[in-house]
Structure 1
Amino acid sequence: MLGTGLAAPASAARNGPGPQARIPAGVTAGVAVFDRGTGAFTERINADLRFRSASVMKLLIVLDLLWDRGPDALPDTDRTRLTAMLRSSDDSAASHYWSTRGGGAIVNRMVSRLALTGTAPPPSTHPGYWGYTATTAADTVRIYRHVLDAAPAAVRDFVMGNLRQATRCASDGYDQYSGIASAFERPWAIKQGWSGFASGGCTADTPAAKASAASAASGSAGELDLVSEALHSTGTVGGDDRAIVAVLTLHPDGTPYGTAYSRLTELVGSLDVPGARRPAGTWVGTWGSGVRVRTGPTTGSSVVTTLPAGVDVLVGCQKRGQTVSVPPYTNDWWAYLPQYGGYMTNIYADTPDNRIPGVPDCP
Structure 2
Amino acid sequence: MAVAPARATEPTALPRDVPTAVTAVEVPPEVTAGVAVFDRQTGAFTEQLNPRMRFRSASVVKLLIALDHLWNRGPAYTLPTDDRTRFDTMLRASDDTSASYYWSQNGGSAIVDRMVSRLGLADTAGPPAGYPGVWGYTALSAADTVRIYRYLLDTAPAPVRTLVMSNLRQSTRCGTDGFDQRFGIPASFEQPWAVKQGWSGFGESGGCSNTAATVGSRSGTTASAAGEAAADVRADDVDLTQRALHTTGTVGTGDRSIVAVYTLQPTSTSFGAAYTNLNRLVRSLNVPGGVDPAGTWRGTWGTDVSVRADTTTSSTALTKLPSDVEVLIRCQKQGERVEVPPYTNDWWAYLPLYGGYLTNIYVQSPDNQLPGVPLC
TM-score (norm 1): 0.91
Deviation (angstroms), 1:20: 3.9
Regions of 4+ moved over 6 Å: 206-210
| Distance in 2 (alpha carbons) for counterparts of 1:42 and 1:59 | 23
Deviation (angstroms), 1:222: 2.4
| Distance in 2 (alpha carbons) for counterparts of 1:73 and 1:175 | 30
Deviation (angstroms), 1:353: 1.4
**Unaligned ranges ≥5, structure 1:** 1-18
Q: Which residue of 1 aligns with 2:307?
A: 293
Cα pair 1:197 1:213 within 8 Å, conserved: no
1:301 to 1:163, Cα distance in 2 relative to 1, 3 A: same
| Distance in 2 (alpha carbons) for counterparts of 1:295 and 1:210 | 35
Q: Which residue of 2 aligns with 1:90?
A: 95
1:209 to 1:46, Cα distance in 2 relative to 1, 3 A: farther
Q: 1:192 aligns with which of 181, 193, 197?
A: 197
Q: 2:29 aligns with which of 7, 25, 30?
A: 25
Are residues 1:250 and 2:264 paired? yes
Q: Which residue of 2 aligns with 1:9?
A: none
C-alpha offsets along residues 93-120 of structure 1, whole Å, 9 cap, x if unaligned?
A: 0000101111000000000000000000
Deviation (angstroms), 1:208: 8.3
Cα pair 2:335 2:346 within 8 Å, conserved: yes
Q: Which residue of 2 aligns with 1:266?
A: 280
**CA RMSD for the aligned pairs?**
1.8
Q: Which residue of 2 aligns with 1:3?
A: none
Q: Which residue of 1 aligns with 2:298?
A: 284
| Distance in 2 (alpha carbons) for counterparts of 1:164 and 1:73 | 19
Deviation (angstroms), 1:215: 3.6
Cα pair 1:262 1:312 within 8 Å, conserved: yes
User: Which has the bigger relative contact order, CA under 8 A and spacing at least 6?
Assistant: 1
Cα pair 2:137 2:227 within 8 Å, conserved: no
TM-score (norm 2): 0.88
Greater Cα shift, 64-73 or 149-158: 64-73
Q: Which residue of 1 aligns with 2:354?
A: 340
Quick one: which amino acid aligns to residue 207 of structure 2?
Answer: G
Q: 1:103 aligns with which of 84, 103, 108?
A: 108
Are residues 1:124 and 2:129 paired? yes
Quick one: which amino acid aligns to residue 251 of structure 2?
Answer: V
Quick one: which amino acid aligns to residue 285 of structure 2?
Answer: L
Greater Cα shift, 277-286 or 216-225: 216-225
Deviation (angstroms), 1:350: 1.2
What SS does the aligned partner of 2:238 have?
coil
Q: Which residue of 2 aligns with 1:38?
A: 42
Cα pair 2:97 2:220 within 8 Å, conserved: no
Aligned residues: 343
| Distance in 1 (alpha carbons) for counterparts of 2:347 and 2:79 | 52
C-alpha offsets along residues 54-81 of structure 1, whole Å, 9 cap, x if unaligned?
A: 0000000010011111464321111111
Cα pair 1:173 1:209 within 8 Å, conserved: no
Q: Which residue of 2 aligns with 1:154?
A: 159
Deviation (angstroms), 1:361: 1.4
Q: 2:250 aligns with which of 210, 232, 236?
A: 236
| Distance in 2 (alpha carbons) for counterparts of 1:214 and 1:178 | 16
Cα pair 2:306 2:320 within 8 Å, conserved: yes
What SS does the aligned partner of 2:234 have?
coil
C-alpha offsets along residues 161-206 of structure 1, whole Å, 9 cap, x if unaligned?
A: 01000000111100001000000000000000000002211139x9
Deviation (angstroms), 1:217: 2.6
Quick one: which amino acid aligns to residue 106 of structure 1?
Answer: I
Q: Which residue of 1 aligns with 2:64?
A: 60
C-alpha offsets along residues 120-144 of structure 1, whole Å, 9 cap, x if unaligned?
A: 0000021110000001000000000
